Amino acid sequence: MRRHLAIGAVFALFNGTAIMCGAWAIDRTPATDTQNVEVIPASIMAGSVGEVRYMFQRFRLCERKSTRFVIDSTNREFMTSTEKNPSSTVQRRAGRSTFVQPFTVPIAAKPGAAVYRVRIEDYCNPIHRLWPITKTIEAPFQIAPALDSRSGR
């Protein structure tokens, strides 16, 4: 009798764990939905500061890793920052929100059409440590030519 109870307990534990892992694995719902993103001002000189304004809908709080890049007109990619936000320290609630992220255009970036890109990895459950929910957000802007110090332009 004890042996049957022990086997039943092990079987129940195994099945419960398998069901939980399966539920975590199919959980691919993003933590947020970005509704609008824009770079302000639309034209920024290399070495100058701009900001990205996001309007988004938050569905749940998850730990997040954000890696930000500026891609210049030659398709050269400059990583500007990486940030991790544990969900336990984030003071945000579910619902509509706005967020402003300042950034500096790298001094080596070439003038012309550019893109601000952020790669986001959300970790909402233990399975996401192996397989995070990912998305990429891009916002176009212009890198303005530097002023010529000799001519004052």
Query: What are 133's two structure tokens?
Result: 């929910």
What pLDDT shows up at residue 147? 78
Q: Give dist(CA 100, CA 36) in Å, integer.
A: 12
pLDDT in tens, 96-138: 888 899 999 999 999 999 999 999 999 999 999 999 999 999 9
Query: What are 99's two structure tokens?
Result: 């967020």
What pLDDT shows up at residue 128? 92
Q: Please indicate whether residue 150 or residue 140 has the higher confidence score (pLDDT).
A: 140
Taking residues 130-149, what's their average pLDDT?
91
Q: Give dist(CA 44, CA 142) in Å, integer.
A: 6
Does residue 132 sit within a domain? Answer: yes
- Taking Cα atoms as reference points, which of 146, 74, 81 lies closest to residue 107? 146
Taking residues 31-35, what's their average pLDDT?
93
The model's pTM: 0.79
Does residue 5 sit within a domain? Answer: no
∠ at Cα 63 (58, 65), nearest 5°? 100
Q: Give dist(CA 146, CA 153) in Å, integer.
A: 8
Does residue 153 sit within a domain? Answer: no
- Which residues are CB-neighbours of 72 under 8 A, at least 6 positions away? 78, 106, 109, 110, 112, 114, 143
Whether 114 and 71 have beta carbons less than 8 Å apart is answered as: yes
Does residue 2 sit within a domain? Answer: no
Does residue 123 sit within a domain? Answer: yes
pLDDT in tens, 4-24: 666 766 656 666 666 776 777
Least confident of 21-25, 85-89, 140-144: 85-89
Q: What strand order describes the sheet that includes 63-71?
A: 43-45, 133-144, 112-123, 63-71, 77-85
Residue 153 — pLDDT band, cuts 50, 70, 90? low
Range of the domain at 69: 29-144
Does residue 20 sit within a domain? Answer: no
Residue 93 — pLDDT band, cuts 50, 70, 90? low
Taking residues 39-52, what's their average pLDDT?
97
Is pLDDT above 90 for 94? no
CATH of the domain at 133: 2.60.40.150
Does residue 45 sit within a domain? Answer: yes
What pLDDT shows up at residue 52? 96
Count of the separate structural domains present in the chain: 1
